[in-house]
Amino acid sequence: MPQPISPPDTALAEATSIIEQALGAPASRPQVRAFFDEATFTVSYVVRDPASSTCAIIDSVLDYDPASGRTAHDSADAVIAYVRDQGLEVAWQLETHAHADHLSAAPFLQNALGGRLAIGEKIVQVQETFGDLFNAGPRFARDGRQFDHLFHDGERFSIGALQGLALHVPGHTPACMAYVIGDAVFVGDTLFMPDYGTARCDFPGGDAATLFSSIQRLLALPDATRVFLCHDYKAPGREVFAWETTIGAQRHNNVHVHEGVAQAEFVALREARDRTLDMPRLILPSVQVNMRGGHFPEPEDNGVRYLKIPLNAV
Residue 252 CB partners (closer than 8 Å, separation 6+): 194, 258, 259
Q: Which pLDDT score is estimated for 27?
A: 84
Q: Which pLDDT score is estimated for 1?
A: 52
What is the arithmetic mean of pLDDT over 117-125? 98
Q: Say if residue 35's pLDDT is above 90.
A: yes
- For residues 266 and 258, the answer to whether their CB atoms sit within 8 Å is no
- For residues 45 and 82, the answer to whether their CB atoms sit within 8 Å is no
Burial of 50 (0-12, 13-18, 19+ CB in 10 A): middle
d(CA 271, CA 158): 37
pLDDT tens sequence across 207-257: 999 999 999 999 999 999 999 999 999 999 999 999 999 999 999 999 999
Q: Which pLDDT score is estimated for 24?
A: 95
Q: Say if residue 174's pLDDT is above 90.
A: yes
- Residues β-bridged to residue 58: 45, 94
**CATH classification number, 29-290, choose in 3.20.20.70, 3.40.50.2000, 3.40.50.300, 3.60.15.10:** 3.60.15.10
Q: Which pLDDT score is estimated for 28?
A: 84
Q: Which pLDDT score is estimated for 6?
A: 62
- For residues 188 and 172, the answer to whether their CB atoms sit within 8 Å is yes
- For residues 274 and 266, the answer to whether their CB atoms sit within 8 Å is no
Question: Residue 8's pLDDT band (boundaries 50, 70, 90)?
Answer: confident
Give residue limits of the domains in the chain.
Answer: 29-290
- For residues 186 and 33, the answer to whether their CB atoms sit within 8 Å is no
pLDDT tens sequence across 95-107: 999 999 999 999 9
3-state helix, strand, coil in the chain (%, to 5): 30, 20, 50
Task: Give the residue ranges of DSSP H helices in 178-282.
Answer: 208-219, 247-253, 263-274
Q: Which pLDDT score is estimated for 157?
A: 98
Q: Say if residue 161's pLDDT is above 90.
A: yes
High-pLDDT (> 70) share of the chain, % = 98
Q: Which pLDDT score is estimated for 7?
A: 76
Q: Which pLDDT score is estimated for 249?
A: 98
Which amino acid is located at 281 in the chain? R
Q: Say if residue 26's pLDDT is above 90.
A: no
Phi/psi of residue 44, each to 5°? -105, 155
